[in-house]
Structure 1
């Protein structure tokens, strides 16, 4: 935590701000380790405070040992205002994602304090994963990989998509996950053409492809894996699409290394899919950052301005989606390293054809 606070203080100094206030759950957890649902982290040039209420004081003291814990006694605005005044904070950085109402309340309550809107201040620090984070993320990936192996013996004709989703989550929880990282995608047959086709009541049928996009939530971090498999022999067109997506995904992973622009990494997949005649059927970005949030910085897209650096963790997930036919997506979680990349996923990406 101390290293994270040091980086934040450097960013605040560059802004000319005396302190940062954040109540965003993900940033609060990243900076302090606190997992309660209510609290405000305030970091000055020399001190760090966590303002919360009676319900969480003991928890905060245990989870955030580097912080001074302030019991707001059910008067949060007053407690924060007093803290800012006592510490001489005149220029307070805040996240522009806060509500308009919150901003108005702060303007009224924080006397003689200039509020400085920021965007991505903490998120840009979060892009770079440290060793402790990667230990947790590796386990989140392992759980998801084990779930994918398990579900291959469960999927068969006659099973509902929702039952597949429930089985995946149950298995991941038994493996130690706190739950699913997000509302998982189970899209079979023509529903595979929906890039975000959440699990439905549809019955899986023989000859269909099934796209599984899911991840494990584990100790505050997430994994995110996508595999598309066939239940019995698929048609020739879907096999062709699978082969194109696989080539694009492998090329995309290979492109991930320090110094490569996020835009170029996206292009490594997009060029292959476009050359095969499916450019219009690939309408999303090639990938995104992954960690405390499932979607975080940096994005891999046609408009991204990021340059890849060691410590960044991204997904690589090209896909093709054809209305009335189906779709294919393949996704891995990839860490950028000093000499290239480490693909955290080991599950096969060759087309699996399950027996019927």
Structure 2
């Protein structure tokens, strides 16, 4: 595994002395260890420490390779001792720690200047945006399981089945076929519920003529993937087919055009124009996509207000949708790898209209 702690020290300003990492996703990024909300990472210019309690000390000593593991007794006091040992006078902290914790740090570290601007969090976010080969491999494996789940569930869906039951079948399939977790709670909605972009699966029974939207993803060793497919049951109306083909055209247009170096706003506009020209502009309210990795929603994003430029190595979703309130909705989504030549679509699942 790449020593990401060393990359952080190199990426910080020249006057950098030390950084404290407390947020769960960032701890995982630097240590490749899931300890929930426990543990403190202290990064110096040429050394790092991981202070962790007895619940995780054994696995931390076995798994963590990029930091010295210390059994937690009183984490704040231990941080203070380590800063004194290394003669640290300035400590960068993440800007999304709680005010309570920041106050505790100030009290415990009276002789240390706390740098609480966005510099540390922005530096970590920039590192996390660009996925290395190990991260890509985990996400490819997560996508493989996600694709296989789609093939499986399409063979199981029948009229009369409840949304929640199909959802549970999908989640069980992923967990029993290699996923170490779920990227996020599965969205499985049908009929008029498909007009809800983030609808929750419930007790509604599937009917002939329904659209069924599945937005889900597997997680493998800490990394997520994200895919949405909309399928039909029994038959579709001309209006349903028109909306589906519009969304598919928009999704393909964005996938075919997107590449590193483009403005994220411009990539969003490619898909949005297709939908707008078809007369459904008011029915596409969310952004075209977002970065994905350790968290299911990361930065940057494809949206009308985006200011970032797409970069090589970013993992992004491309997910246009059209939602007709009270009637139905369609969303098609893939996770892609941004390259200078275009974008590589991770998913292999069919995107043409499937009628089960």
Q: TM-score range by the shorter chain?
A: over 0.9
Asked if 1:78 is matched to 2:77, the reply is yes
Check whether the contact 2:130–2:314 (CA below 8 A) recurs between aligned residues: yes
Residue in structure 1 matched with residue 350 of structure 2 by the alignment: 348
Check whether the contact 1:129–1:312 (CA below 8 A) recurs between aligned residues: yes
Q: Deviations over 1:235-255 (max 9, x none)?
A: 111111000000000011112
Structure 1 pair 238–308 and aligned structure 2 pair: CA distance change class (3 A): same
For 1:120 and 1:156, how far apart are their aligned partners in 2?
48
Indicate the SS of the match to 2:194: helix
Indicate the SS of the match to 1:54: coil
Asked if 1:242 is matched to 2:241, the reply is no
Which 4+ stretches in 1 moved above 3 angstroms? none
Check whether the contact 1:141–1:216 (CA below 8 A) recurs between aligned residues: yes
Residue in structure 1 matched with residue 213 of structure 2 by the alignment: 211
For 1:340 and 1:323, how far apart are their aligned partners in 2?
34
For 1:182 and 1:25, how far apart are their aligned partners in 2?
16
For 1:199 and 1:268, how far apart are their aligned partners in 2?
31
For 1:113 and 1:284, how far apart are their aligned partners in 2?
44
For 2:88 and 2:307, how far apart are their aligned partners in 1?
34
Q: Deviations over 1:16-60 (max 9, x none)?
A: 331111111111111111221211111111111101112222211
Residue in structure 2 matched with residue 35 of structure 1 by the alignment: 34
Asked if 1:149 is matched to 2:146, the reply is no
Q: RMSD value over aligned CA atoms?
A: 1.2
Check whether the contact 2:89–2:111 (CA below 8 A) recurs between aligned residues: yes
Asked if 1:123 is matched to 2:125, the reply is yes
For 2:47 and 2:200, how far apart are their aligned partners in 1?
44
For 1:174 and 1:191, how far apart are their aligned partners in 2?
28
Deviation of 1:111 (Å): 2.3
Asked if 1:261 is matched to 2:263, the reply is yes
Asked if 1:108 is matched to 2:110, the reply is no
Indicate the SS of the match to 1:229: strand
Asked if 1:64 is matched to 2:67, the reply is no
Deviation of 1:326 (Å): 0.7
Q: TM-score, normalised by structure 2?
A: 0.96
For 1:64 and 1:183, how far apart are their aligned partners in 2?
29
Residue in structure 1 matched with residue 21 of structure 2 by the alignment: 22
Indicate the SS of the match to 2:41: strand
Q: Unpaired runs of 5+ in structure 2?
A: none
Match of 2:165 among 163, 166, 169: 163
For 2:257 and 2:112, how far apart are their aligned partners in 1?
47
The number of equivalent residue pairs is 352
For 1:11 and 1:109, how far apart are their aligned partners in 2?
27
Residue in structure 2 matched with residue 12 of structure 1 by the alignment: 12
Residue in structure 2 matched with residue 138 of structure 1 by the alignment: 140
- The correspondence of residues 223-302 of structure 1 with structure 2, limited to 5 A, is 223-302=225-304
Deviation of 1:349 (Å): 0.4
Q: TM-score, normalised by structure 1?
A: 0.96
Check whether the contact 1:162–1:199 (CA below 8 A) recurs between aligned residues: yes
Check whether the contact 1:169–1:179 (CA below 8 A) recurs between aligned residues: no
Residue in structure 1 matched with residue 195 of structure 2 by the alignment: 193
Q: Deviations over 1:93-141 (max 9, x none)?
A: 1111111111111111112111112233312111111111111111000
Q: Deviations over 1:198-255 (max 9, x none)?
A: 1111111110001100000111111110000000101111111000000000011112
Check whether the contact 1:257–1:341 (CA below 8 A) recurs between aligned residues: yes
Deviation of 1:3 (Å): 4.2
Asked if 1:174 is matched to 2:176, the reply is yes
